[in-house]
Chains A and B, each alone.
Chain A
Amino acid sequence: MSNVLKIKKGVEQGANELLKFLLESEKVKGIFTLRKMNENGAVSYSLITHPKELQNAVPLFPLMPVNAGKILSGFTLKKAINEPIAAVLRSCELRAFIELIKRTQGSLENFLLISSTCGGVYPLKSLTDGTYKEQVSQYWESAKNAEISSDIRPTCAACEYFIPQQADMTIAIVGKNDLQQECSIFLNTKKGEEFTIGAPGNIVSEDIDTKETAKLREKRQEQKKKLFDELEKNGSGIKALVKTFAACLSCHGCSKACPICYCTLCDFDSKTHEYLPSSHEIELEQKEGIRLPPGTIFFHIGRMIHMVVSCVNCGMCSDVCPVNIPVSTIFSKVGDSLQKLFDYLPGKDIEEPVPFGTYKEEEFTEIGE
């Protein structure tokens, strides 16, 4: 049970109300949240410092133009912020941010973290082709009924970590059948409580895990299994991989969009992995044919080796892929089982070391004997 701030307004307006309060009462210097850019639905993250700009804030808008974790990392890369800023971000974005901080790519200091029980987001395509408009209308319905909203990102539909781990406040959406009338903001930390002193609305005590959230988690888990099983359709082994990545342009957009891929210059874009004409010719002799540019599969599995243990399944990689490769599905499948193996949930605990920066003497002892 934790304290819940109830604002007698629809969940979206309620959220804005909260942000308005935080900014106007000068409890925070600014608010980092999604903002409407134009009428055809373009939204982008913004640091809002003036209350009047809040009218365009759409903190819960079901779209993820970029993974906010990546942005906040860049924001605090040089140094931590020295004045409180409220950041509204989704569970997977928060987890990404924490994974990045573990790699000294930013700092949590002075952030007031506001998150929500996440109903998922729509693919960016639905924005470009306009389909999101009718989708959004049913989004809140399904969220309310703890259903999987149709047409959301595949990884979202299969995401069981929709209840944020480290947020100071969590805006309840999933399974809140009164969300049209009331906005429930769970105050998970002391910080959360302090910042809401004097906020509009009343405090009650509730539990964030409900039958509904359990129900959605179950559905998502089923969906996850389905999603992963579908991958098998391509068969397995190298042939399957080749089919999957057949259309890959080697643009490496997936790594650029990935919040965990934090390297300034990706190893796979560096000279280290360039070929000499002679190495091409050797391979040409062996195979009588080589794909150019080379190393398509090497890149994807290599990138996997580097980051998949921290993959938060946000789905950005799939969304930016110009040739619709289900990158995120593949990565979350591998990530899922690998993370289980190392008993590691990315972004769950900021103190928990990244699996490949540590080891236990008494583990995997059967190996090597």
Chain B
Amino acid sequence: MNDEYTPKIIGFLCNWCAYTGADLAGVSRIQITPSLRIIRVMCSGRIDPLFVLKGLLKGADGVMMMGCHPGDCHYQKGNYSARRRYVLLQKLFEDLGFESERIGLWWVSASEGPRYAKVSSEFSEEIKKLGPNPVREEIFI
């Protein structure tokens, strides 16, 4: 599989739900393709849109945001802020003709190990279809 292209995907996971869910996936020994690199943050509300942008401009093939389901945020409402910021990014990228498919937001609870594995594998497949992020070749950004 090494010669097959594995996309470079960055995932910003909130500590309380998504990251715990990801751990659960591991504990349950669910196997996934090693394309996602997790960066743990305390709350999805901490995910600065600039991180996502920077990630993509630095050549990430995709960026995932994951947080607690609405209403379950460990910090009460952080995920609602996250959601608006995600919408902002989505719209921005669409309007700029950027591949907005390269970013995504998912709610993953602490008990949703399988869901974590599912969404991250699915996203990885989508990105594979898209191919490598053209930005990686771009010198004049």
B is bound to A: yes
> A334 touches which one: B54, B58, B71, B92 (CB < 8 A)?
B92
Interface members, chain B 94-141 (any A CB < 8 Å) = 94-99, 105-107, 134-141
Question: Which residues of chain B in 62-97 are interfacial with respect to chain A, using CB atoms and an 8 Å cutoff?
Answer: 67, 69-71, 77, 80-81, 83-89, 91-92, 94-97
Give B residues with C-beta under 8 Å from A: 49-50, 53-54, 57-59, 67, 69-71, 77, 80-81, 83-89, 91-92, 94-99, 105-107, 134-141
Which B residues touch A330, using CB under 8 A?
96
The contact of B92 among A291, A304, A355, by CB within 8 Å, is: A304
**Contact (A334, B83) CB under 8 Å given A305-B88, A359-B77:** no
Contact with B along A274-302 (1 / 0, CB 8 A): 00000000010011011100011110011
Contacts of A286 in B (CB 8 A): 59, 136
- Check: A309 CB closer than 8 A to any chain B CB: yes
Q: Are B92 and A305 in contact (CB under 8 A)?
A: yes
Which of A's residues lie within 8 Å of B, judged by CB?
Answer: 232, 235-242, 246, 283, 286-287, 289-291, 295-298, 301-302, 304-305, 308-309, 330, 333-334, 337-338, 341-342, 355-356, 359-361, 363-365, 367-369
Q: Which residue of A lies closest to B80 (CB)?
A: A359
Extra inter-chain contacts (12) besides given A287-B136, A337-B94, CB under 8 Å: A238-B134, A238-B138, A246-B140, A296-B141, A298-B54, A302-B50, A337-B91, A338-B88, A338-B91, A363-B83, A367-B105, A368-B69
Decide: B84 and A242 in contact? CB cutoff 8 A.
no
Q: How far is the CB of A291 from chain B (nearest CB, A)?
A: 5
- A150 to B98 alpha-carbon distance, docked (Å): 33
What are 18 inter-chain pairs, A to B, with CB distance below 8 A? A239-B134, A239-B138, A240-B97, A242-B140, A298-B53, A301-B96, A305-B49, A305-B50, A305-B53, A305-B92, A334-B95, A337-B94, A342-B87, A355-B84, A359-B80, A359-B83, A359-B84, A360-B80
CB distance from B93 to the nearest CB of A (A): 9
Structural contact, A302 and B95, CB atoms closer than 8 A: no
A-B interface, 3 closest residue pairs, ranked by CB to CB distance from nearest: A236-B97, A359-B80, A368-B107
A242 in contact with B141 given A237-B98, A337-B91, A367-B86 (CB within 8 Å): yes
When distances are taken between beta carbons in the complex, the residues of chain A under 8 Å from B91 are: 334, 337-338, 341
A298–B141 CB distance below 8 A: yes
**Residue of B88, B106, B135 most packed against chain A (CB within 10 A):** B88
Point out the residue from A289, A333, A367, A369 that lies within 8 Å of B95, measured CB to CB.
A333
**A341 and B87 form a contact (CB under 8 A):** yes
How many Å lie between the Cα of A287 and that of B94 in the bound state?
A: 26
Provide the bound-state CA to CA distance between A240 and B134, in Å: 12
Q: Are B81 and A359 in contact (CB under 8 A)?
A: yes
User: Contacts of B135 on A, CB cut-off 8 Å?
Assistant: 238
Contacts of B98 in A (CB 8 A): 236-238, 241
Cross-chain contact B97 with A365 (CB below 8 angstroms): no
Q: Which residue in chain A gives the minimum CB-CB distance to B48? A: A305
Q: How far is the CA of A246 from the CA of B59 in the complex (A)?
A: 19
- Give the chain A neighbours of B106 by CB distance below 8 A: 368
Q: Which of B86, B97, B137: most chain A Cβ within 10 A?
A: B97
Q: How far is the CA of A363 from the CA of B84 in the complex (A)?
A: 9
- With a cutoff of 8 Å between Cβ atoms, the chain A residues found around residue B89 in the complex are 305
Assess the B80–A361 pair: CB atoms within 8 A.
yes
Task: Compute how far the CA of A242 lies from the CA of B67 in the bound complex, rounded to whole angstroms.
Answer: 33
Determine if A368 and B97 form an interchain contact, defined as CB atoms under 8 angstroms apart: no
- Look across to chain A and name the residue whose beta carbon is closest to the beta carbon of B95: A334
- Of all chain B residues, which has the CB nearest A359? B80
Q: Which residues of chain B are near A304, meaning CB under 8 Å?
A: 92
B107 touching A369, Cβ below 8 Å: yes
Residue of B69, B81, B95, B140 near A291 (CB, 8 A) is B140
Which B residues are CB-close (under 8 A) to A305? 49-50, 53, 88-89, 92
Contacts of B70 in A (CB 8 A): 361, 365, 368
